Amino acid sequence: MELPTPESIKKKRVKLGLTQSELAARAHVSQPLIARIESGDVDPRLSTVKSIITALDDMEKSRITAKDLMTAPVISLSPDESVDQAVKIMEKYGFSQVPVLENGVPIGSISESALVQAMGSRDIQRISNARVRELMEDSFPAVAPGTDMGTISALLEANHAVLVMEMGKVVGVITKYNIMRLLNK
């Protein structure tokens, strides 16, 4: 077993976004001890190093991000496609909602709920021939690939899906199903 250096402990702590106090609490040691270990001022007991490394490893495993959860590539619709085409795509992929993109930019979404609601007040043939833009809802919220699962879960409580965007482009989508799949791992 190779023992970590003070520099490698600090580097990993900083990479995980932990303060010395947060690491100390997770490793059940004091913050001043973490500071002294990281500065190389003290030679800790092996059991202390083990506690610190275990805390860092546990934190690293629990840090699930949008990039880990997302489904890619994103199946999307154009606002000018027919609702009939939207239904075919939803059926083919088993989706209950689909983002609507125009020139790669999210402008809305269409869901089974919107379609069912429209069917209650319009002629089915007219709905089938309508354009997606006529029945689309608001766009899904968007996050960066490094966004944590807590933020994504909160967004999914009020939205059908969350888009993952990088450099102005949609690179993935996350639904409640993506979160629930974590329970099987």
pLDDT in tens, 26-82: 999 999 999 999 999 998 999 999 999 999 988 876 778 899 999 999 999 999 999
Is residue 1 pLDDT above 70, yes or no? Answer: no
Read off φ and ψ for residue 143, nearest 5 degrees. Answer: -135, 165
Assess whether the previous peptide bond of 73 is cis (omega < 30° from 0).
Answer: yes
Q: What pLDDT band is residue 182 in, cutting at 50, 70 and 90?
A: confident
Domain with CATH 3.10.580.10 in the chain: 67-184
Q: State whether residue 92 is helix, strand or coil.
A: helix
What does the pLDDT average to over 157-178?
94
Q: Which fold has domain 67-184?
A: CBS-domain (3.10.580)
Predicted pLDDT at 104 = 87
Predicted pLDDT at 185 = 57
* Amino acid making up residue 57: D
Predicted pLDDT at 37 = 95
Catalogue the E-assigned strands of the chain: 97-102, 105-111, 142-143, 161-166, 169-175
Domain with CATH 1.10.260.40 in the chain: 6-63
Q: Taking the model in full, what pTM does it have?
A: 0.67
Residue-wise pLDDT for 70-119, tens only, equals 999 999 999 999 999 999 999 999 999 999 999 889 999 999 999 998 88
Predicted pLDDT at 111 = 93
Predicted pLDDT at 129 = 86
* Amino acid making up residue 39: S
CATH code for the structural domain at 6-63: 1.10.260.40
Is residue 122 pLDDT above 80, yes or no? Answer: no
Is residue 167 pLDDT above 70, yes or no? Answer: yes
CA angle 44, 47, 50 (to 5 degrees): 95
Length of the chain: 185
DSSP state of 183: G
Predicted pLDDT at 8 = 92
Looking at the DSSP bridge assignments, the partners of residue 170 are 165
